[in-house]
Chains A and B, each alone.
Chain A
Amino acid sequence: MRVVVCIKQVPDTTEVKINPETNTLMREGVQSIVNPFDEFAIEEGIRIKEAHGGETIALTMGPPQAEEVLKTALAMGCDKAYLISDRAFAGSDTLATALTISAAIKKIEEKDGPVDIVICGKQAIDGDTGQVGPGIAVRLNLPPLTYVSKVREINPEQKYIIVERLMERGKEVVKSTLPALLTVVKDINTPRYPSLFEIKKASKKPMIKLTFNDLGLREDQTGLKGSPTWVNKIFSPDLKSVSGEIFQGEPEECVKKLTEKLLEITKGVSL
């Protein structure tokens, strides 16, 4: 089995704060991390290799410093890493990004051999779109299996996979032919922590850089030119400020007052 895991370097958005005076992002102290959903993708990719043999390849697209997330993937147990980096890709929206990544996966197939499974996290925490995974699937003509919470069975001989997909009100069990593309949710596994030994070993694993010229795409298919969507405006979220009634003091008194209000407003609500 050859598995390609697509990952992204993101700012740790849970640490991002807004400067209340200027209403702008405060970047200071915000770390760049592996997109948390991608850690589950890496882990699953490694587990598949451990169970069925073969190799797991990590892939990212981003500025040169995105190499850091590939180092993490290698330390966790991926065998090889590809960094897609070129100024030509700056400003890519999800359509252009998916095209660029799919072109890189085709390149990997040329170099390393056919890919059986592509795994992505369900979405990245900076953009939160979840659109790149399905986009890559279309470009590579792979069946997309999104929001996978469990891989039930992989049969490399008969070339099929059975997964559970996490939906709003239940789980769907789906069988698909291989090759296929999976996007995974956090219930799927618990990502491992790389040991010091693994981190050391990782520095000797191959890290290959792909640029615009390697991918055989036209200039108008990538970056700003290849992106149908434009960011028109960025602004701070407008939270309604309510001058509510906040009760303080003796708990019993507060609760009595709140209960009165609650009973009043629940009159129209079926309890």
Chain B
Amino acid sequence: MSYVKIDKNLCVGCGACVDACPVGALFMEGDKVEVNDKCNLCGSCVGVCPVNALSIPREAKKVDLSDWKGVWVITEHDGKKPVTVTFELLGEASKLASKRDTYVGAVLLGNNVAFMADELFSYGADRVFLCESPVLEHYRTEPYSEVIVEMVKHFKPEIILSGATTQGRDLAGSVATKLETGLTADCTGLEICPETGNLLQTRPAFGGNIMATILCPNTRPQMSTVRPKVFPVPPKTDKKGDIVNFSFDFSKLNIRTEVLEYLPFEEKISLADAEIIVSGGRGLGKPENFEILKELADTLGAALGASRAAVDAGWISYEHQVGQTGKTVRPKIYIACGISGSVQHMAGMKHSDIIIAINKDPEAPIFKISNYGIVGDLNVIVPLLTKELKKHLGS
């Protein structure tokens, strides 16, 4: 079997690829690079070669993909309203669709959910593909994925976007496998090639240490999950569209799961929806110090966030974690206390409008992306800040 292909005539022996290889498969032999059997063909080295000496051996396929049209968004909702990421995706889908001169479709599944169609139109959908049934009352992987697979086979969309939420990832993973097409998780950037319709899907990998752009050139639909808060909510318009009713024979399904109950968290302010977040990290030193942050958060009406270090230390529960393995947030103000700013953490909060850092280390990377900051001991600074704010806010 093959390894990454090295064109020895082109190789200048700079060693850039050796540094880029995440598995240690490349090494220098004399003044040329060599590959060993650790190579897993990940492609990390290809882009860093300054002279294009490296390539992944792929066979070019000739496939006609011209039947596939439209950019679809899978609506996620709670029975009352679509969740915000659906609107964010409709905004992004509109951009992609206009470059391909095609339509934006929203897939809407549930029981008595047709009333949500207007809102989907107002955020950019041209068509709403609707399927209603008591079977679809609660989200369940099996019936939802079966309906969508049948819709896709019938209408042939070129692209399907869904939120990288627990539901969106669960559903997309199932749908893509059934359709045997490519799925790219957790995208943070989407571009489209206007001629081929190929979607350039950018996503973090290796814990956010590197970014990868993924292509799915030979199969359709191209599927991506996109993290909430990565794209902005587009402005609402009075746009109208068409509802396409889709009927599905549920009697042929053998559904093996049943939702018994739902237990919502007792959370005052959801991290994902908060306009202000006060977040704590390793610098807090001990779990009790989250109380100081909580007081600041309460004063500002903010939600409480945390870095992975604080969560891993057991100081606060996982729901509060911001970052690559936690939530991505996009508040108006993010106040990072005792968070040095690992790449992984910054991946989850760098889109915040205003970032404020409080850290005793003036060299902490978090200051590089902060609009305001204080160098100092948070145990002193944060209570002072709370006190000062209370004076002005009168609470």
A residues lining the B interface (CB < 8 Å)? 11, 13-14, 16-19, 22, 24-27, 63, 86-88, 90-91, 93-95, 98, 125-131, 133-135, 137-139, 143-147, 162, 164-177, 180, 185-187, 223-225, 227-242, 244-248, 251-252, 254-256, 258-259, 261-263, 265-266, 268-271
Contacts and interface: CB of A to CB of B under 8 A. Distances in A.
A139 B263 contact: no
Contacts of B181: 95, 228
11 contacts: A19-B19, A26-B19, A27-B21, A90-B3, A90-B39, A91-B41, A231-B214, A234-B211, A236-B211, A254-B381, A258-B374
Given A144-B174, A251-B381, A233 B213 contact: yes
A11 B56 contact: no
Contact of B257 (A134, A166, A176, A237): A176
A-B residue pairs, 3 tightest by C-beta: A13-B207, A134-B173, A87-B1
A47 B174 CA distance: 27
B169 interface: yes
Nearest to B324: A128
B16 interface: yes
A244 B214 contact: no
B131 interface: no
Contacts of A252: 384
Given A134-B141, A162-B260, A244-B367, 8 more contacts: A13-B206, A90-B41, A95-B180, A130-B169, A174-B257, A234-B210, A254-B381, A262-B389
A143 B253 CA distance: 12
Given A239-B369, A242-B369, A246-B374, A168 B262 contact: no
Interface residues of B, number: 116
A130 B19 CA distance: 27
A242 to B, nearest CB: 6
Contacts of B47: 233-235
Contacts, number: 332
Interface in B253-281: 256-265, 267, 270, 272, 275-276
Contacts of A63: 23, 37-38, 40
A173 B260 contact: yes
B186 interface: yes
Interface stretch (B93-101, B102-110, B240-248, B340-348): B340-348
Contacts of B356: 258, 262
B122 interface: no
Contact of B170 (A144, A185, A245): A144
A113 to B, nearest CB: 21
B385 interface: yes
Given A239-B346, A259-B385, A24 B19 contact: yes
B333 interface: yes
B185 interface: yes
Interface SS, B side: mixed
B20 A234 contact: yes
B204 interface: yes
Contacts of A94: 173, 183, 185
A132 B333 CA distance: 36
Contacts of B267: 169
A164 B263 CA distance: 9
A85 B167 CA distance: 32
A18 B343 contact: yes
A140 B166 CA distance: 21
A19 B20 CA distance: 10
Nearest to A220: B59
A117 to B, nearest CB: 13
Contacts of A223: 1, 41
B392 A254 contact: no
B166 A147 contact: yes
Nearest to B58: A224
Nearest to B346: A239
A86 B165 CA distance: 33
B233 interface: no
Contacts of B46: 231, 233-234
B325 A90 contact: no
A263 B385 CA distance: 12
A127 B209 CA distance: 11
B86 interface: no
B176 A131 contact: yes
Nearest to A132: B173
B264 A232 contact: no
B217 interface: yes
Given A128-B185, A235-B211, A245 B56 contact: no
Contacts of A90: 1-3, 39-41
B276 A269 contact: yes
Nearest to A14: B207
